[in-house]
């Protein structure tokens, strides 16, 4: 479990550091304003990400913050990004609820010179950089291998994702099911 928290915190730091290198040259003494936008506020996963985000700000002297909508709604995420554009933040790191819905507003952010980094959105176009924690297909196959081992490669199982619009979740679940169909026909 501790390893998972280290990975989450590490991802937050990687996203923010990537944003630094994407920001147009500014004087070293200038403070940057890094925003991280998550799918949904109040989830333990993103609460932990916020700790890493805030720690980075403390260690570098930059302003860092994490925010997300109170419910999983792409329109609310779009509004948050619009507000961040108006605030002229240096960068936006985003975990999109529905990547397609955010494409236009993320393009507007980039047009305003804001560095945009995404996570859990391998199909997104309007970002400077997308950070994925792992190879989703390999993760899904590994997940199914572990499940098959525990089940003796027989029986029924169920899969769930955070939402049907969550690209990375669906990629690893699709890969897990493909692995099961290919290697474990009795499941």
In the chain, which ranges are continuous DSSP H helix?
2-22, 44-60, 74-87, 99-111, 136-151, 167-183
User: According to the model, what pLDDT value does residue 108 have?
Assistant: 98
User: According to the model, what pLDDT value does residue 18 have?
Assistant: 59
Residue segments in the chain with a per-residue pLDDT below the cut of 70: 1-29
Going from the N-terminus, what domains does the chain have, and what CATH number goes with each?
2-131 (3.40.50.2300), 136-183 (no CATH)
Q: DSSP code of 89? A: -
104-153 pLDDT per residue, tens:
999 999 999 999 999 988 889 999 999 988 898 999 999 999 999 999 99
Which contacts (CB < 8 Å, 24+ apart) does range 44-52 have? 45/8, 46/95, 48/5, 48/8, 48/9, 49/8, 49/9, 49/11, 49/12, 50/12, 51/9, 51/12, 52/8, 52/9, 52/10, 52/11, 52/12, 52/13
pTM of the model: 0.75
Q: Name residues whose C-beta falls within 8 Å of residue 22's C-beta, 6 or more positions apart in sequence.
A: 91, 115, 117, 128, 129
Q: Which H helix or E strand runs over 25?
A: none
């Amino acid at each position: 479990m501790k390893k998972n928290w280290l990975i989450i915190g590490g991802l937050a730091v990687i996203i923010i550091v990537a944003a630094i290198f994407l920001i147009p040259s500014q004087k070293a003494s200038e403070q940057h304003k890094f925003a991280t936008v998550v799918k949904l506020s109040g989830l333990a996963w993103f609460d932990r990400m916020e700790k890493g985000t805030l720690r980075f700000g403390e260690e570098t002297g930059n302003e860092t913050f994490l925010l997300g909508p109170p419910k999983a709604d792409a329109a609310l995420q779009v509004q948050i990004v619009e507000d961040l554009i108006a605030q002229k933040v240096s960068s936006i790191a985003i975990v999109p609820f529905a990547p397609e819905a955010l494409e236009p507003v993320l393009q507007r952010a980039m047009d305003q010179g804001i560095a945009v980094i995404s996570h859990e959105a391998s199909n997104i176009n309007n970002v400077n950089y997308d950070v994925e924690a792992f190879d989703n297909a390999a993760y899904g196959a590994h997940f199914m291998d572990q499940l098959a081992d525990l089940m003796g490669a027989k029986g029924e199982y169920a899969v769930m994702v955070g939402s049907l619009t969550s690209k990375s979740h669906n990629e690893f679940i699709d890969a897990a099911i493909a692995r099961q169909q290919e290697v474990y026909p009795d499941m």
